[in-house]
Amino acid sequence: MTEQTSRRVSTSDDIEVSTYLEIAKEKKGERSSPTQEPAPAEREAVVILDFGSQYSMLIARRVRECHVYCEMVPFDAPWERIAALKPKGFILSGGPASVYDEGAPLAPHEVFESHLPVLGICYGMQLLAHQLGGRVAKGVKREYGHAILHQNMSSSPLFADLPPTLPVWMSHGDHIVEAPPGFEVIAYTDNSPIAAMGNREGMIGLQFHPEVAHTPQGKTILKNFLYNVCGCKGAWTPGNFVSESIEKIRAKVCNGRVICALSGGVDSAVVASIIHQAVGDQLTCIFVNNGLLRREEAERTLSVFQRNLKMNVVYKDASERFLERLKGVIDPELKRKRIGEEFIKVFEEEAAKIGQVQFLAQGTLYPDIIESASSGRGAAATIKTHHNVGGLPKNMKLALIEPLRDLFKDEVREVGLALGMPEEMVFRQPFPGPGLAIRIMGEVTREKLDTLRAADWIVMNEIKKAKLYRDLWQSFAVLTSTRSVGVMGDDRTYGYVVAIRAVTSEDAMTADWARLPYDLLARISNRIVNEVPAANRVVYDISSKPPSTIEWE
């Protein structure tokens, strides 16, 4: 897919999408694709076997940026699952283990028996050496950080059109002392005589990390592997994704009926748009007011979808039900699961009113799947349960349709642009499914919700006035469970501490706290303590992800 556009537009929560109808509307009774690009006959894919590297998700992003579809799977995933993707090649990620340790994770033997191209990165390279007859040893001198890579005289398709010396990023203690039979050393550093190796079958190992920004030509190296070695053609584009998704949805739904959860965010809007183009009036969108939305959000969202998107929209105010389910709940995981369960109950009740509904559409994204993965034999640990993943009941009656579950957020935005959606909607900051419930520490009450809505409104208003909205991944207020003593006039106060959170990110898998101007923070703080009666202190969160998450719960 193409890289995210950097065009700046004025952004408002009161989204106006009238232009959407002029670009993407269909003639009555017709189902047309929004793009001239034909769907590829077969999706080309590369499989990334994850051995626990902190950079594994970055590898996936870089591959996608080269217009090649990829999936990241645990190193010990069943081979049937891997083979079903019909890969054109494999990438073995780095990892914290040493290949000579007892019980160290190994690559499936089927990878090598497939005779497909393999790119081993760091630990992945050491696996190639260890499993194919080479030798790996603990390094006398570890190599972390910047290094200069020198190509040998022999040419390699991996380094096509690149200079003979390259700055790269190293992060390893072990090193290869003997390449496997049939492998040639194609590059070295001062500390690693075998920094890159390869054979005639397209198996290549790199001791450095091409996926990180500290390896400036790393993306070119990955692209050379994908195009020159694997033979990929770069068909992973927004237009092809839309066409492919439409055909899959039509085949799955047939004459059935679909309900889609609308939230006002880009994910659900893109899902609804794709499904509407696939099955038309067989789709009914349901917008649930769970009582956990921001100020005026329910009214604005309902107006946008009913007035402009011309879809069947059912509005359900279930605020009291959700607040009742959250009464006395403090644990964040329990909050998420109860909200997810209640969502499904509401949907199933509304589906029964519509009649003959078989499918529930959701805006689940790839990071949702990764963060909700349960720790087990694979490398992924549960960070937090997303309400639309782990929060779903096991006995749910509706089959799921999740056309975006393979995409990162920036890819969803590109699909939205391909659908003709306006930038004001496409680049709206993410808002979590559990809403303000996970921005309130401790029990969720009506009083706390009113306090947080008022503070959050001020944060958003000032961020937009400072023209920083599009520069930030997310910006919002958090109501902590802490109260502090203050003084206003001659009176003592004992009010809530409000935290401000603003981060920059590409996909929410990692994030850094935003260096907001001091005068902006001062305006936000002054307005909150003066305009929100229950709050008397404001703090700014300067934690990055990792180790923190973006949301506080």
Catalytic residue positions?
122, 209, 211
What is the distance between the terminal CA atoms of the chain, rounded to a whole angstrom? 32
d(CA 474, CA 405): 21
- Measured CA to CA, the distance from residue 453 to residue 431 in angstroms comes to 13
Phi, psi of 263 (to 5 degrees): -125, -15
- Beta-strand pair 45-50/283-289: unpaired
Report the alpha-carbon angle 204-205-210, nearest 5: 105
Return d(Cα 29, Cα 21) in angstroms, integer. 16
Which one, of 162, 186, 94, lies nearest residue 194 by Cα?
Answer: 186
C-alpha span between 92 and 111 (Å, rounded): 10
Strands (E), 388-527: 399-401, 474-488, 491-504, 512-513
Are 24 and 273 spatial neighbours (Cβ–Cβ below 8 Å)?
yes
Q: Do residues 290 and 339 lie in contact, with contact meaning Cβ atoms separated by under 8 Å? A: yes
Pairwise CA distance, residues 141 & 522, whole Å: 49
Cβ atoms of 449 and 304 closer than 8 Å: no
Number of neighbouring beta carbons within 10 Å of residue 20: 22
